[in-house]
C-alpha cells in the first residue's frame, strides 16, 4: 500500500535533464490540491456563515425563533448584540446573544 510520502518521493525523483519537469509537476499538484480544498471546504462554509449572519440581522420584533439549545421563543426587544425573548405560557423573559439564534420560524414577505 502506497503512502502519500512514497508518492511524493517517486514524483520528485522523476526529474528529466531538461530542467526538472518533475518539480514543476509537484508544484502544480500542490496548487491543484489547495484549490480543490478551497472549493470543497472553505467556500461552502463561508457561504453558510454569510447566510446565517443575514438571517440573524433580519430578525424583527414578534418573530418566532429557535435557539441553538432548542429553546422556542418570541422576540420582544432587540438590542445591539442581543435579543430579549419570551418563552412559555407564563411569558418568561430572557436575554440571549444574537449568535445563539439557530432558526427564524417567521417568514417575511
> Domain map of the chain by residue range?
4-54, 60-104
3-state helix vs strand vs coil in the chain, percent to 5: 45, 25, 30
Nearest to 38 by CA among 48, 46, 50: 46
How do residues 27-80 score in pLDDT, each as one tens digit? 999 999 999 999 999 999 999 999 999 999 999 999 999 999 999 999 999 998
Query: Is the separation of the CB atoms in 101 and 56 below 8 Å?
Result: yes
pTM beyond 0.85: the answer is no
pLDDT, residue 16, reads 47
Least Cα distance to 56 among 46, 67, 45 occurs for 67
Q: For residue 95, which of 80, 86, 83 has the smallest C-alpha distance?
A: 83
CATH hierarchy code of domain 60-104: 2.30.30.140
Amino acid at each position: 500500500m502506497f503512502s502519500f510520502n512514497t508518492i511524493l518521493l517517486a514524483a520528485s525523483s522523476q526529474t528529466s535533464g531538461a530542467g526538472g519537469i518533475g518539480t514543476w509537476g509537484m508544484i502544480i499538484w500542490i496548487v491543484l490540491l489547495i484549490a480543490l480544498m478551497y472549493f470543497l471546504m472553505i467556500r461552502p462554509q463561508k457561504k453558510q456563515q454569510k447566510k446565517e449572519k443575514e438571517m440573524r440581522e433580519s430578525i424583527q420584533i414578534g418573530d418566532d425563533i429557535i435557539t441553538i439549545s432548542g429553546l422556542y421563543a418570541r422576540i420582544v426587544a432587540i438590542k445591539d448584540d442581543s435579543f430579549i425573548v419570551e418563552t412559555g405560557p407564563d411569558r418568561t423573559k430572557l436575554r440571549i446573544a444574537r449568535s445563539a439564534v439557530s432558526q427564524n420560524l417567521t417568514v417575511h414577505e
